[in-house]
Amino acid sequence: MPFLDRRSNRAVDDSLFGNDQYHTELWAGQQVDDIELPATLTQAQRRICGSADCSGGWTMPWRSRRRPIFEGQWGCSGRCVLAMVRDALRRETAHGAADAAATPHYHRVPLGLLMLSQGWITPPQLRRALEAQRQNGTGRIGEWLIAECGLEAEQITRGLSMQWNCPVLSVEGFSPEAMALVMPKVFVEKFGLMPLRIAGGRILYLAFEDHLDASSSLAIERMTGLTVESGILNEVQFRAARSRLLESDAIETKLESVSDADTLAGRITGILEQKQPTASRLVRLHHYYWLRLWLESGTAGKLGRFPVSGEDMNDYVFTVGSQG
């Protein structure tokens, strides 16, 4: 049958494609939902492959392939999905290198000197705290100011907020069950990230104990689709909130280590082909590559790409080579 032996770039009758109905290039002027899927799939549209290297560009009419969707793009074959994943990995690797090169090194005023300049401590108090820190070889200066000089934790928190030019946050409105869905727990444990609440439908407040991490904040922002506002949280409140969050149910997460980038691209492609998600995204957070899958429609709520629950969601966290 000649029809089966060739591909054509000519316009093809939409009726041949049945339910193959969408592609991001064809969404112009349409409403798109919060995980980058068309708000409606009822319009008669043919799918076009999201891979720039695809030689065909659309699904064969006798094939029923509606998924996977990777970063708003549909792949007509496993080979095309692999090409899309490789592009994403190159982007994330470049992001990481650019962040490392472009992040300026700020010479922040040491916390002790800042508090001294504000008149919150005296020179003898600072010397006593520094000497205790030196003799013990451990602990932050704020901890020694509390232990040796009787300062309140709130004073240290206020000093840290001035040092990092950020707000002091509170745990008001904190829901550990909801915030446990923001990211894999490994990031909470490794990097001290503490999601507190979502305000105004679009702002995610992310707390840190004693310093900010702009790179992590950006990665969370790109994955969730929310605007991330970072700040310092009182040490006691931070640790109590973190304990509650780590005890809460999170999205099922698998941690994997691979030997190199090519192996990682193949592994991610295999996951996408097996799980067939309705949406998926990849971001790099420091040396980790984080893949999130939305397995069914309706898994994202009205807040960016924030999941409504851990059901029908999967997280994968990868390390490459010796970084594992």
Domain residue limits at 277: 253-323
**What's the pLDDT score for residue 166?**
96
Query: What is the per-residue pLDDT across 184-206, written as a single tens digit (0 to 9) for each?
Result: 999 999 999 999 999 988 999 99
Which residues does residue 281 pair with via DSSP β-bridges, in sequence order? 292
- Strand 73-74 and strand 203-208: pairing? unpaired
- Give the residue-averaged pLDDT of 220-227: 96
Domain assignment of residue 302, yes or no: yes
Of 57, 17, 49, 70, the residue nearest 281 (C-alpha): 70
pLDDT value at residue 56? 66
Q: Does residue 174 belong to any structural domain of this protein?
A: yes
Q: What pLDDT shows up at residue 295?
A: 94
- How far is the C-alpha of 65 from the C-alpha of 125, rounded, in Å? 69
Of the residues 231, 246, 261, which one is the last residue of a structural domain?
246
Q: Using DSSP, how many helices (H) and how many strands (E) does the chain show? A: 11, 10
| Residue 24: predicted pLDDT | 37
Q: Is 307 within the bounds of a domain?
A: yes
What is the average pLDDT across 26-54?
54
Specify the 3-state DSSP secondary structure of 216. Answer: helix
Which residue's structure tokens are 């089966």?
Answer: 4
- What is the rounded CA–CA span in Å between residue 205 and residue 186? 19
Percent residues over pLDDT 70 in the chain: 78
Q: How far apart are CA 142 and CA 156, in angstroms?
A: 6
pLDDT of 29 above 70: no
Does the residue 306 lie in any domain?
yes
Specify if 6 maps to a domain.
no
Same domain, 141 and 195: no
pLDDT (0 to 100) of residue 36: 52
- In a domain? residue 207: yes
Assess whether 122 and 177 both reside in one domain. Answer: no
| 79 or 40, higher pLDDT | 79
Long-range contacts of the stretch 58-67 (C-beta < 8 A, 24+) = 58/12, 58/17, 58/20, 59/17, 59/20, 61/12, 61/16, 61/17, 61/18, 61/20, 64/18, 64/19, 65/20, 66/19, 66/20, 67/276, 67/277, 67/278
Q: Residue 158 and residue 167: Cα distance in Å, rounded?
A: 9
Reported as a single tens digit per residue, the pLDDT across 57-66 is 555 544 568 8
Phi and psi torsions of 273, nearest 5°: -70, -35
pLDDT of residue 15: 32
In a domain, 204, yes or no: yes
pLDDT one-digit tens code per residue, 125-178:
999 999 999 999 888 999 999 998 889 999 999 999 999 999 999 999 999 999
Mean pLDDT of 101-112: 70
| Beta-strand relationship, 253-258 and 313-320 | parallel
* pLDDT given at position 33: 44
Domain stop point among 122, 145, 164:
164
Single-letter amino acid code for the residue at 270: G
Provide the β-strand partners of residue 289.
284, 318
* pLDDT higher than 90, residue 53: no
Point out which residues pair with 316 in neighbouring strands.
Answer: 254, 291
- Do 238 and 270 lie in one domain? The reply is no
Of 104-118, 209-223, 224-238, 262-276, least confident by mean pLDDT is 104-118
Which residue in the block uniquely carries the two structure tokens 């054509």?
Answer: 8
| Of the residues 164, 180, 198, the one at which a domain ends | 164
Specify the residue for token string 């006593």.
Answer: 128
The answer to whether residues 178 and 232 belong to one domain is yes
Total number of domains in the chain: 3
User: For residue 216, is pLDDT > 50?
Assistant: yes
For residue 199, being part of any structural domain is answered with: yes
239 and 177 inside one domain: yes
Identify whether residues 172 and 197 lie together within a single domain. yes
| Pair 177, 148 in one domain | no
Mean pLDDT, range 99-114, rounded to an integer: 71
Question: What is the model's pLDDT at position 308?
Answer: 86
**Residue-averaged pLDDT of the chain:** 83
Q: What band does 18 get if pLDDT is binned at 50, 70 and 90?
A: very low
* DSSP-assigned letter for residue 32: B
209 and 264 in a common domain: no
Its pTM surpasses 0.85 = no
For residue 100, pLDDT over 80 is answered with: no
Rounded distance, CA 84 to CA 3, Å?
28
CATH number of 233's domain: 3.30.300.160
Q: If you write DSSP's letter for every residue of 146-186 in order, what string do you get?
A: HHHH---HHHHHHHHHHHHT-PEE--TT--HHHHTTSS-HH
CA-based Rg of the chain, rounded to a whole angstrom? 24
Q: Are 58 and 48 in contact (CB under 8 A)?
A: yes
pLDDT at 3: 41
Q: Are residues 237 and 257 in the same domain?
A: no
* H/E stretch holding 303: none
